[in-house]
Structure 1
């Protein structure tokens, strides 16, 4: 393979290890080799070489996924194709409100480059300093700004994709309206590399919001948080860019990870909301936030709150949301979920699911938080940290089963924004209606008839020989 593609592109032996370990370090596998192309033509050549050798391909961006979608699971049969060298921003067009960027560009670096042109790319994730654009597209990433700007799918105008036979699909148009039949780019968004390798993306940009107001609010219940969201959605309209809910334990966990974090509001409330509204131009965002909070506090819907008076204070408020995740990791292996239910039923679901876990695992702690505006809740479960690993794993499985049983009664989704990968494949398949599975299998077979692209990810269909 090195002879065909060049030694510069091929890594083997111990050098592949960091590409074969998942983001949290829970799983380490292996691969025949890691290929690191620099151009779309390199990717095409790599795909053709793998096909000739009978090897399957696991596409990989920043390897920050949470469902093992980019982690090889057949070390003697799979090659990782890393897009980390394809980092070029091909074009930023402020007049067209669009940009074209290669798949290996790190999200935060792309956002910074766009900002220097006075524009804004709204996708915002905790891993944005490491994740890459191609992976964001391939997993249809969500994040904190979905409420206002939508999932990654809503931000993509066009794609360039290397198909399983090595041919290149060039669909990098920046047209907003193009109704010429089936929108083929949608097939690859959220497909997790099972239909091809995304090599470049054209995306929508927006004017950079030059006014941002951030507030942390204490409430008496999650039901009040849902009611507050309804009011904010009406009164702040489309200027609301984030509405996150957190339990009291979030602040304990955040300070375990970042000890010098100071509690921004007094009291111990049963629910907390991190609210952000933003805009540019002639709208007075600070005045809108003050008037809105004044009204809801006078009505008793919000018990207490603080508005950030500077970017530094706003960043400090967001550190509680981000530090909470670090604090959970410090407590050891635990169940991480990524669920969605109808927004109107979110509070009821959290109550029912937490009770289901408490009934079967009274020694475990639930941490429920997430994005109220899109019905996405991360209901995580922390087992006691002093147990043997086998007992921890057993509790994680038992908690997942209990939560998913409740989720099914709410007709919710086991994956709101993280994807399916290999980690959630079994739970996904058992809940997949027959007609939908037939369509997905037919699609996979038509585009990837030799099943070379990321076999075992999402579905468990592979080549017969």
Structure 2
């Protein structure tokens, strides 16, 4: 990167918002799981949509590649520049304004750098709910959530990030700004352009602001930690709960005993909610707009589930603190695996009916490939998304185990593909999975993706090397 280009960029955003020293750049260049360590010419931190547009226009003029980045919490390397170091990281964190909140229209407009937690808090302050919920919500940003079409724990009731977005403001690859911040629930005036950019991981345009969909705050919520004999019973319980749990089923998370053991072993302050162990567990939440009778309705539903053999034990949260304790068992699952050595991970989805069979086949396959390995599958059973993680055998060599990542991925993804599932349920493609796309995408679909990229970013300056 020439000093002249960096000087021109500094003239657009101010010299203090152009970072080039290695120590300050380092946190922007490291992917959270340490799978990628990138290089970049600079970190540029624009403070407005106009500044983003000016930077992108200059990048188009000079052929400078840009990597848009939000909170740097992505898990497939889509926010990490490639090792050559030619790119500039375009950090959107300074675009952090909540522009408007409209409780009557159940919408809010926020900029891309607003953290998910802050968006939730702004909605709650207006008596509304923004239901997207992720473990990284304190640091991930709305722009990143939309760019990856984030999922999380409430998809069963409210949908992915795509379903929660009504409009976008986007800087195109030539520096033009598309203002699509429409607060309309009905708008059939041609192509729905926002869906081109949601889930595109910054490869087609830079999201700078969004209209988000809000909901009434629930008047009551009941949280249950349930012991289930197996995934088949958990699936039957899910189908029954959708109609008979006394309210809106907002969360239905599946966890294996080994995962709970990991959390109890490594996460301070955690305890087992139930007196006896079970091979599998479900964390379930039901919400309602009326506080009257919800706990009683859930208790009645669980009593019937117990009689039917769908659950073997249950604990209902009697306080906010107990609810937090239940959630910690779920939210710490991924992090505590680090304490157990190497871990090979998958973010996959299959049709709901296929989840039990997928788990049976995938567990048997990896155990045959690596005797002594410890499968720790968990995730959002309510939408068919399983994080199929495998921890190394006890006493094994971590590097040798992780070196089999591609081999294990291939075997697990083959089962997913056979069941008409997806190799990326909610984390995106990024750099980690882009080489897998030709093997799983319909050729026509992949050709259309490449056509869109060539049309909207003909110079390939936006996040080169990600997705395609």
Q: TM-score, normalised by structure 1?
A: 0.96
| Residue number in structure 1 paired with 2:426 | 417
Instruction: Check whether the contact 1:23–1:65 (CA below 8 A) recurs between aligned residues.
Output: yes
Separation of aligned partners in 1, 2:288 and 2:7: 51
The secondary structure found in structure 2 opposite 1:199 is strand
1:191 to 200, 224, 228: 200
Q: 1:282 to 1:264 in 2, by over 3 A?
A: closer
Separation of aligned partners in 1, 2:427 and 2:292: 34
The secondary structure found in structure 2 opposite 1:214 is strand
Matched, 1:209 2:218: yes
1:10 to 14, 18, 38: 18
Separation of aligned partners in 1, 2:207 and 2:51: 13
Separation of aligned partners in 2, 1:32 and 1:441: 27
Matched, 1:367 2:397: no
What is the CA-CA distance between 1:398 and the residue it aligns to?
2.4
The secondary structure found in structure 2 opposite 1:16 is helix
1:67 to 76, 80, 94: 76
Separation of aligned partners in 1, 2:42 and 2:252: 43
What is the CA-CA distance between 1:54 and the residue it aligns to?
1.9
Alignment of structure 1 residues 254-403 onto 2, 5 Å: 254-281=263-290, 284-384=293-393, 386-403=395-412
The secondary structure found in structure 1 opposite 2:82 is coil
| Residue number in structure 2 paired with 1:462 | none
Instruction: Check whether the contact 1:383–1:396 (CA below 8 A) recurs between aligned residues.
Output: no
The secondary structure found in structure 2 opposite 1:201 is strand
What is the CA-CA distance between 1:2 and the residue it aligns to?
3.0
| Residue number in structure 2 paired with 1:77 | 86
Gaps of 5+ in 2: 1-5
Matched, 1:250 2:259: yes
1:248-288 per-position Cα deviation (integer Å, ceiling 9, x unaligned) = 11211111221331111011212111110012236632122
Instruction: Check whether the contact 1:255–1:327 (CA below 8 A) recurs between aligned residues.
Output: no
Q: 1:282 to 1:381 in 2, by over 3 A?
A: closer
Matched, 1:458 2:467: yes
Q: TM-score, normalised by structure 2?
A: 0.95
Separation of aligned partners in 1, 2:77 and 2:401: 20
| Residue number in structure 2 paired with 1:118 | 127
Alignment of structure 1 residues 426-445 onto 2, 5 Å: 426-445=435-454
Gaps of 5+ in 1: 460-465
1:302-356 per-position Cα deviation (integer Å, ceiling 9, x unaligned) = 1101100111111100110012222112223311111100100100100001101
Instruction: Check whether the contact 2:37–2:83 (CA below 8 A) recurs between aligned residues.
Output: no
Separation of aligned partners in 2, 1:357 and 1:347: 16
Instruction: Check whether the contact 2:38–2:85 (CA below 8 A) recurs between aligned residues.
Output: no
Separation of aligned partners in 2, 1:131 and 1:332: 26
What is the CA-CA distance between 1:20 and the residue it aligns to?
0.8
Deviates more, 1:326-335 or 1:303-312: 326-335
Matched, 1:240 2:268: no
| Number of residue pairs matched by the alignment | 459
